[in-house]
Amino acid sequence: MQDVKLAIIGGSSLTSLEQLGQVESHTISTSYGKPSSDIQIGEFGGEPVAFLARHGSDYQTPPHLINYQANIAALKKMGVEKILAVNTVGGIHPSMPAGSIVIPDQLIDYTWGRASTYSDQGNVIFIEFEKPFDQTLRQHLQKAAQQLQLSPHNGAVYGCTQGPRLETAAEINRLERDGCDLVGMTAMPEAALARELGMAYASVCLVVNPAAGRSDRPICMSEVEKVASVGMLQVVQLLEAAVVSIAN
C-alpha cells in the first residue's frame, strides 16, 4: 500500500474526488467494522492523499448511522496522520449565507446514541478537546484560501445535530443562543475520534442553505443541491491548495 499521511473525508456533496486520477482502492476492515466506503489513494496537489466517502460512495448512509469509529480507525490503520473533513451545513449567523465557505474553530455536540469514543474496550481515554479542530491544519486552509483569493470565514461554532431530519426554527433559535453559527450533522463524533487516535483534524464547511427559520422560504433540497454543486468546486480547489501547503 502506498504510504499516505493525509486524508480527505468527503461529505454529502463530495462522494468521490475525481482529481485523484488513477487510484489504489482499499477495502479496510477494523475491529469496529467496515468504513463507509473503500478508501481511495491517489495523487492530489502532487501528494499522496486518501479519500473516504463519509456517507458511502453511493451516498447511502445517513449521518446517524455512519460508522464513525470504523472510518477513523481505518484511516489510522493506513497510516494517516492528518484529516481534512468536508461538511455541508446550514447557516445560522447572518454573515454566513448559502454559498459561504467556513473554517470552524469550535463545536457543540447535540448528537445522541452515536458510538462516540474508542474508550470502550477496557481502556479509558480522556482527550483534551478545548480546541476541537487542529490549529495548524486550519492555518493551512486559511493560507490556501488567501492564495486562491477566496475569503472563507475563519472561525465559527459548528452545532452538530442528530439528523437526518432538519431542525425546527425553535431548535435553530436555541442553537443560536448557545453560540452556534452553523448547523450540520456529521462533525461529531468524527472530530473527537480523530483526536482520540492522535490524528490532526480540521473541517471545511460549505453553507448550502439558511438554517430552518432563517429564510422566508422552507429549505428546498433542489436549491441545496445547486448551491452544493457550485460551492464544492471551490472547496475542492481549496483542499488542493491546502494539501500543497501542508506538504511544504
Under the rule (CB under 6 A), what is the footprint of ligand HPA?
A: 88-90, 161, 166-167, 183-185, 208-209, 211
Q: How far is the CB of 183 from ligand HPA (least distance, A)?
A: 4
User: Which residue number, 49 or 160, has a Cβ lying nearer to ligand HPA?
Assistant: 160
User: Which residue number, 104 or 184, has a Cβ lying nearer to ligand HPA?
Assistant: 184
What is the rounded CA–CA span in Å between residue 54 and residue 155?
23
Q: How far is the CB of 127 from ligand HPA (least distance, A)?
A: 25
**Backbone φ and ψ of 72, nearest 5°:** -75, -40
Q: Which amino acid would we find at residue 236?
A: V
Cell of 216: 422566508
Q: How far is the CB of 197 from ligand HPA (least distance, A)?
A: 25
What is the rounded CA–CA span in Å between residue 167 and residue 56?
23
User: Which residue number, 120 or 225, has a Cβ lying nearer to ligand HPA?
Assistant: 225
**How many other C-beta atoms can be found within 10 angstroms of the C-beta atom of residue 206?**
27
What is the number of the residue whose Cβ is closest to ligand HPA?
90
Rg (CA), the chain: 17
Q: How far is the CB of 169 from ligand HPA (least distance, A)?
A: 11
User: Which residue number, 75 or 89, has a Cβ lying nearer to ligand HPA?
Assistant: 89
User: Which residue number, 27 or 168, has a Cβ lying nearer to ligand HPA?
Assistant: 168
| Residue 177, CB-side half-sphere exposure with 13 Å CA sphere | 6
Phi-psi region of 179 (alpha: psi -120 to 50; beta: other; left: phi over 0): left
Q: How far is the CB of 186 from ligand HPA (least distance, A)?
A: 8
